[in-house]
Amino acid sequence: MSWIGGKKSSRDIIIPKFPLYYEKYIEVFGGGGWILFAKPPGNDFEVFNDFNSNISNLYTCVRDHSAELIERLRFVLNSREDFDRIKHIISEKAEIGDVQRAAEFYQLIRYSYASGCDSFGGKPHSMWSNFPLIEQASRRLQKVIIENRDFEKLISAQDSEVSFFYCDPPYYATESYYENVGFTKADHERLRNALAGISGKFLVSYNDCEEIRSLYDGCRMFSYERLNNIRQRFDGGSMFGELLISNYDMDERKKNPPKQISLLPPMKFSVFTEFLQQKKSLQVQMRCCSHLSLPALNCLVYVVRYTIKEFGLLTAVEAAELTDHAAADADRHIWRDIAVSVRYICVLAVKHNLHGC
């Protein structure tokens, strides 16, 4: 969701800086949710928090009442009069679970200038085009805990040795943009103090400035630049300095890349060369693999990657020649080349009685 300070342009930089291991992911200043929605789901306990009750209410309604929310948005108007009628809700506290309030807040976001919710944008936009996104977000949020708490209380409640806190607070000297949540300059120090005493790990996003570097002196830091979207209209190519701050090594994922695990017992290379010489018989046998379920195919993807890497099993030309006709049903969200290779490995497994691998 578009929101002030959203991390759409930085998510591919931030997520690789996550720690290698954690069991609880807590997004302390959720905002537009760009990092939560970009990270792989289902591998950890996830908490999404924002002190802005309108944001927490919106995401709660997306998760729990997506169909009703869509219906309430179906006939809203992209007009200044309608915008001015509801924009007062920005400065008012929302009751969590209020679907009508969530629809109005979403309307303000979509129809305001730069998603600021305070001035009408005056640009054409079809609300209906957002309905598939709301449905996808609802599915993604089903196992996510949504909170509306002060960051200090949240951090204290969720801290453990396996907790990882990602914090994207209002940037230093931009506190006035967040009047409705009351974040002040003193809160930057309060956040630093809250993070300094935790047992888990933290990663904080900030604007790169001397005040923040001094405040977090002693922590690990990584700086980078991104396009300054606000200044592009009158200062093309202007860049904005960003700073990531952590209490762990942000390069630990790079230093410990994932390793492929073999699901097959050791085989002689002759096993594979034998089959490369039997192209016609393989074409017939591969037709028998089309009954495999999608979970089975997904599991075998790992086998394929290992065998191709270790043995140079198939070239692209050989794969196409062998299985053009057998990969016709590869539209089940499996890439064509992976689907082709999976069927090939199935033949190997069946031929060599590796059913239990």
pLDDT beyond 70 at 77: yes
pLDDT beyond 70 at 278: no
Query: Residue 132 class from Cβ within 10 Å (0-12 exposed, 13-18 middle, 19+ buried)?
Result: exposed
pLDDT band at 82, cuts 50/70/90? confident
Instruction: Express each pLDDT in 90-144 by its tens digit.
Output: 778 888 889 999 999 999 888 877 666 666 777 888 899 999 999 999 999 999 9
Residue 4: inside a domain: no
- What CATH number has the domain bearing residue 141? 3.40.50.150
pLDDT score recorded for residue 45: 92
Which residues constitute the domain of residue 276? 269-351
pLDDT score recorded for residue 240: 78
pLDDT band at 193, cuts 50/70/90? very high
Same domain, 15 and 91: yes
| pTM value surpassing 0.85 | no
Mean per-residue pLDDT, 286-298: 50
Instruction: Express each pLDDT in 233-277 by its tens digit.
Output: 666 666 778 999 999 999 999 898 876 655 555 554 454 455 455
Burial 300-335 (b: 16+ CB within 10 A, else e): bbebbebbbeeeebbeeeebeebbeebbeebeeebe
**Which residue carries 């809203």 as its tokens?**
76
pLDDT band at 19, cuts 50/70/90? very high
Residue 19: inside a domain: yes
Q: How many CA atoms lie within 13 A of 56 on its CB side?
A: 21
Same domain, 77 and 55: yes
Instruction: Give me the number of domains the chain comprises.
Output: 2
Spatial separation of the C-alpha atoms in residues 350 and 114, rounded to whole Å: 58
Length of the chain: 357
Residues contacting residue 135 through CB under 8 Å, at least 6 positions apart: 66, 70
Residue 50: inside a domain: yes
pLDDT band at 65, cuts 50/70/90? very high
Mean per-residue pLDDT, 207-215: 94
Q: Where are the alpha helices (DSSP H) in 179-235?
A: 185-196, 210-215
Instruction: Supply the mean pLDDT for the chain.
Output: 77
| Pairing between β-strand 239-246 and β-strand 220-227 as defined by DSSP bridges | antiparallel
Residue 314: inside a domain: yes
pLDDT beyond 70 at 295: no
Residue 264: inside a domain: no
pLDDT score recorded for residue 112: 78
